[in-house]
Structure 1
């Protein structure tokens, strides 16, 4: 069990806060690996830009065009946060063996060569290919002056999936066993302290 809340200084001052979590499904051979958690801060990600300078690309996990992100995922995936200026276009090199999706965090634009419209809160699933195309509309809303997109994909595991609550396994029996192990305290624990600051420091 855990508690998630925005930083105290943001609660006091107000403002927009995006908290992103990446939960990675593992193949059967790794399902019982020890639990792990990784806290990734803005200064740790690989920063790239589009050739025209209109898009900032943050590689959080996996790799894009030879640039590695700091995320440790056990299975081959890529996770990117892209910010597109109004009218900018991003053509992101992509592993053709990966699936791909894009979730629009803010703003609006189009995805794919078909230029399908997307806006804040919408998810687009891409077909097969070795690049992903995302375009920001020339005009954005005042509350979202740029388009922010979370791009995610990986190598399909191609195994049966059974899930309930936080547990994703391959069979119903394995899910029930995971619940029993959790209730008996056999799933291990992750220390609460992970390098995150606990006090506001002003300089």
Structure 2
């Protein structure tokens, strides 16, 4: 799953569970405060990344911090069956710590959230091999953004600003802002041009190695079979097998909402 999120207080995402996958939160504007039943708490600001491994179970909240609208992106990365019940954990990086590099001619800049690009490598460790890149191609750039992608991987491009052109000449295809383009398998990578004379192009390239296992999903739970989903619901409702701490925990955000009501 991949989604663009725009939220303003008092709305948000109060206490809710996850199991069986990872969430990647990449903030574009504003900030979000998160906390969980393990005692972890922090604020993700514009340009920051949080890579949360839900594993066998986590209950957390994500609420906008401060006035105005907070905007960001969230990607769900599936875990293989052997990793679905590992202990939960976090990898968090401030904007200044994200690996960033620019092409020699200054036309293309990339922030490397996961994987590697243009000689820069992300500090994020991924259990499911993943590529997550934030490209900016300046107006009148003489060359496109180019990135190799393993031919067997699934991949998509999401345009944040400007217009992305795939390929050159009359056969080139355009993708506008806030649109997503699925890329076919079998190629050796992607080439994206900015044809604008006055507007930069900013887009995300996300790719991952297919796990090749069945997927069963119910809301915030992603497992391999319906039986595992049923067991997960039971574990959550009975506070067992990874959800023990949920019995007596409420986030500060939830307690504040309770006080208002």
Residue 150 of structure 2 is aligned to residue 95 of structure 1: yes
Give the alignment's TM-score, normalised by structure 1.
0.78
How many residue pairs align between the two structures?
184
In structure 1, stretches of 5+ residues that fail to align are 193-203
Q: Distance in 2 between matches of 1:65 and 1:86?
A: 19
Is 1:42 aligned to 2:95, yes or no? Answer: yes
Structure-2 change in CA distance of 1:98 and 1:105 (3 Å): same
Query: Normalising by structure 2, what TM-score?
Result: 0.62
CA contact (8 A) 1:93 1:132 kept: yes
* SS in structure 1 at match of 2:73: coil
The residue correspondences of 1:146-165 to structure 2 (distance < 5 A) are 146-165=200-219
The CA deviation at 1:98 is 2.2
1:6 shift after superposition:
4.0
Structure 2: gaps of 5 or more residues: 1-15, 17-59, 251-261
Rounded to whole Å, the distance in 2 between the matches of 1:3 and 1:87 is 43
**Distance in structure 2 (CA, Å) of the matches to 1:35 and 1:180:** 19
CA RMSD between the two structures: 2.7
Cα distance in 2 for partners of 1:6, 1:87 equals 37
Alignment of 1:1-203 (within 5 A): 1=16, 2-8=60-66, 11=67, 18-64=71-117, 67-88=120-141, 89-112=144-167, 114-127=171-184, 128-139=186-197, 145-186=199-240, 187-188=242-243
Q: Which has the higher strand share?
A: 2
